[in-house]
């Protein structure tokens, strides 16, 4: 095990609105989505996933993606992203390119069984489809700065992850990027179904960094089996400075038939961990907790995050490490 090498600063992609509202049992009104995005924009979070351009018949929770995107009032300094899975979705999203910052991603699953079940194709075909993604993005002048491996640490259909398998997928993504002359800035390792453990996180991060030097690693962690923040801690200790997270832990695990299972790590719990360790995030944690409580109240369902449940009188927020000091140091 290596010595810890905590980053001085962490950036967070806020995924709660996009990921959360597609997995809830009810459709969240457009006004509520816009209100939560507006509140999130005032917390210091700089990157907010604001809409999901997926098939309305399959994901009714995002049938209003166009309306959210067109009514969104962007705040200076905050970037609003969107998700899509195919050309149709990308075209829909691209009509809102003024408000949304669209970024293409080379995304592959490390689990062959997951690809087969979800897309009904083999891994090789999924890899070849990335050529299409690059072509669509080029046509629409959308940059592709991101690569991502889903089910990077394990899969409900295949069990625990395998580092050699992950490294194969990373090599394929790197090869694809090279073939297309893409400059990949960051590589997301997604624990899509919450299989990671902290020792594995440290080991996989080290190995992926060695396999793709210079790429910035982003961790997308789920708290499905309770290890979300332990894994985030292991990532921080390995120097990871970029995380996906979700307001209040919004976004249950849609796999495995249990909507009660926890999804993404809670943004405010992750920010709390960072601040306790002296790592700057630029986030006003008290404000973020207030947004999380508000979301819980308007949605009328308990969200899995912990910090928001502590009464303000004794919540004990640590002082926020200064971004300015970090930049200067």
Q: Which two tokens stand for residue 20?
A: 């959360």
Q: How far is the CB of 127 from its own copies (least distance, A)?
A: 25
* Alpha-carbon span 248 to 231, nearest angstrom: 17
Q: Which of these, 179, 108, 115, lies nearest to 146 by C-alpha position?
A: 108
Q: Which of 155, 218, 253, 274 is catalytic?
A: 253
How many other C-beta atoms are found inside a 10 Å radius of the C-beta of residue 210? 9
262 binds its own copies (CB under 8 A): yes
Among 57-65, 73-81, 142-150, 314-322, the segment contacting its own copies (CB under 8 A): 314-322
Binding residues for its own copies restricted to 203-242, rule: CB under 8 A: 223-227, 229-230, 232-234, 237
* Alpha-carbon span 88 to 105, nearest angstrom: 16
Binding residues for its own copies restricted to 121-160, rule: CB under 8 A: 154, 156-157, 159-160
Out of 64, 241, 244, 269, the only residue in the binding site for its own copies (CB under 8 A) is 269
Sheet arrangement for strand 79-84: 79-84, 47-53, 11-14, 242-245, 216-220, 186-190, 146-150, 105-109
Out of 162, 306, 320, 326, the only residue in the binding site for its own copies (CB under 8 A) is 306
Among positive and negative, which fits the CA dihedral 266, 326, 6, 316?
A: negative
| 176 tagged catalytic | no
Question: What is the signed CA dihedral for 60, 20, 79, 220, rounded to 10 degrees?
Answer: -130
* Alpha-carbon span 25 to 21, nearest angstrom: 9
Out of 193, 242, 283, 295, the only residue in the binding site for its own copies (CB under 8 A) is 193
Out of 77, 141, 214, 313, the only residue in the binding site for its own copies (CB under 8 A) is 313
| Residues in contact with its own copies by the rule CB under 8 A | 1, 3-4, 154, 156-157, 159-160, 193-195, 197-200, 223-227, 229-230, 232-234, 237, 253, 255-258, 260-262, 266, 269, 272-273, 276-277, 302, 304-307, 309-311, 313-316, 318
* Residues noted as catalytic: 253
């Amino acid at each position: 095990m290596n010595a810890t090498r905590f980053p001085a600063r962490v950036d967070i992609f806020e995924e709660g609105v996009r990921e959360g509202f597609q997995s809830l049992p009810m459709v969240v009104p457009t006004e509520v989505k816009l209100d939560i995005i507006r509140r999130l924009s005032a917390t210091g979070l700089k990157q907010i996933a604001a809409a999901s351009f997926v098939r309305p018949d399959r994901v009714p929770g995002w049938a209003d993606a166009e309306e959210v995107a067109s009514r969104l009032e962007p705040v200076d300094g905050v970037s609003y992203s969107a998700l899509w899975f195919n050309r149709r979705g990308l075209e829909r999203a691209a009509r809102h390119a003024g408000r949304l910052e669209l970024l293409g991603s080379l995304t592959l699953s490390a689990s062959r069984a997951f690809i087969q079940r979800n897309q009904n194709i083999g891994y090789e075909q999924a890899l070849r489809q990335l050529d299409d993604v690059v072509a669509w993005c080029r046509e629409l002048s959308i940059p592709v700065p991101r690569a991502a491996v889903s089910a990077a640490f394990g899969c409900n259909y295949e069990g625990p992850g395998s580092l050699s398998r992950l490294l194969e997928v990373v090599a394929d993504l790197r090869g694809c990027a090279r073939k297309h002359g893409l400059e990949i800035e960051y590589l997301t390792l997604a624990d899509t179904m919450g299989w990671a453990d902290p020792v594995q996180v440290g080991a996989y991060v080290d190995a992926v960094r060695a396999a793709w030097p210079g790429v910035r690693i982003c961790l997308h962690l789920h708290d499905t089996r309770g290890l979300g923040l332990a894994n985030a801690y292991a990532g921080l200790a390995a120097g990871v400075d970029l995380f996906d997270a979700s307001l209040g832990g919004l976004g249950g695990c849609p796999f495995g038939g249990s909507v009660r299972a926890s999804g993404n790590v809670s943004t405010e719990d992750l920010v709390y961990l960072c601040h306790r360790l002296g790592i700057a995030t630029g986030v006003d944690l008290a404000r973020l907790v207030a947004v999380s409580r508000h979301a819980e109240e308007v949605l009328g369902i308990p969200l899995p995050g912990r910090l928001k449940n502590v009464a303000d009188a004794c919540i004990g927020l640590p002082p926020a490490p200064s971004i300015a000091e970090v930049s200067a140091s």
